[in-house]
Amino acid sequence: MSKMSLPTEIEMIIISFTPEFHLGLVCKTWRKKIRTIRKNASDAIGKWYHHRKVPENIGTVQELVRYMVVHYPTEYFLSYPEFAVKKLGLNEDILTTIPLVEYRKKSDVKSWILGMPISLNEWLFVGI
């Protein structure tokens, strides 16, 4: 496994998006550029994958929220309620109980998540 934290199988799928025989049909400059783009994309997905793994010791919603507050990027954490509502197919009216994204703090999102009658498995389905 490489330094990207991706399983080798997933890494190979990402790298295989552009078949090698097509690369030989373009000029050297394009071939180099395409390889660089593929490597950058693979690295970006690897970083995303690494940050989205949930530790096995999380057993409650409170532990999940604590983990998210520490490890989840702030910009995504602040917009997490909208993402969760869409992914779970909930009524968007429940978003009226939380300030607009522009005015939110991490504590607002934390309180909102903990106040929702949603199980740990449902939160894990939404993902982190």
Domain spans, the chain? 8-52, 61-126
Res 1: pLDDT:
43
Distance CA 73, CA 99 (A): 19
Q: Which of 7-11, 64-68, 89-93, 112-116 has the lowest mean pLDDT?
A: 7-11
Place of tokens 């954490």: 77
Distance CA 10, CA 126 (A): 21
> Does the pLDDT of residue 108 top 90, yes or no?
yes
> Does the pLDDT of residue 82 top 90, yes or no?
yes
pTM: 0.59
